[in-house]
Amino acid sequence: MAANEEMKKEFLYRIKKEAQNMANLINDILMISRLETKEAEVVIKEVRICPLVNEVIASLRPLAANNDITVEVNCMPFTVKANDGQMKELLSNLISNAIIYNKPGGRVNITITKEGSDAIFIVEDTGVGIPEESKARVFERFYRVDKARSREMGGTGLGLSIAKEIVEAHGGSIMAESELGKGTEITVRLPVG
């Protein structure tokens, strides 16, 4: 089928990309299934939030650089009683979405504070925003506001569903505010202890 070396490389690239997309989808489906059924034993411990946020951001720096996005963090140092793997997944999903659905030259601001007995995570971007008719559905499974961009970036439509499941499993709440063409702000409130 491949007539020349260049065509072979293109086919191999597409095959690899689609295989990675399928692996991401399977992993996301398994994650949401475990969260919903509460099958997996969840180890709760003291999690230092700032080092965890910095670790997530370090892993997403190449994605931010490829999309010409500046990521800024303002993190108040404190700990929460949570599952560190799930907290990492939560932050990774929120921050990667803010990068992917942004505009070239855009910003992602991450603010982590404590208010009373609640930890508050705010991930704000200067991206494309969410249309009014989609706001109520962004936490639904497989729902994608921008289907073309999600497909192109390998998104599964499960990231915000997983985030919601993690937040609710930890007794918290998650909310999205957005203005089309101006950006989105996701706010998570979690009990600290």
Residue the block writes with tokens 């949401």: 32
In words, the CATH class of domain 43-191 is alpha beta
CB burial string 26-35: b at 16+ within 10 A, e below: eebeebbeeb
Domain boundaries, the chain: 43-191
Q: Give whole-number Cα distances, 88 to 55, 60, 64, 98, in Å.
A: 9, 12, 17, 15
79-82 and 107-115 as β-strands: parallel, antiparallel, unpaired?
A: unpaired
pLDDT digits 0-9 by tens, 56-114: 999 999 999 999 999 999 999 999 998 888 888 899 999 999 999 899 999 999 999 99
pLDDT band at residue 150 under the 50/70/90 scheme: very low
Q: What is the pLDDT of residue 44?
A: 84
pLDDT 10s digits, 107-142: 999 999 999 999 999 999 999 888 887 777 777 766
8 A C-beta contact, residue 175 and residue 184: no
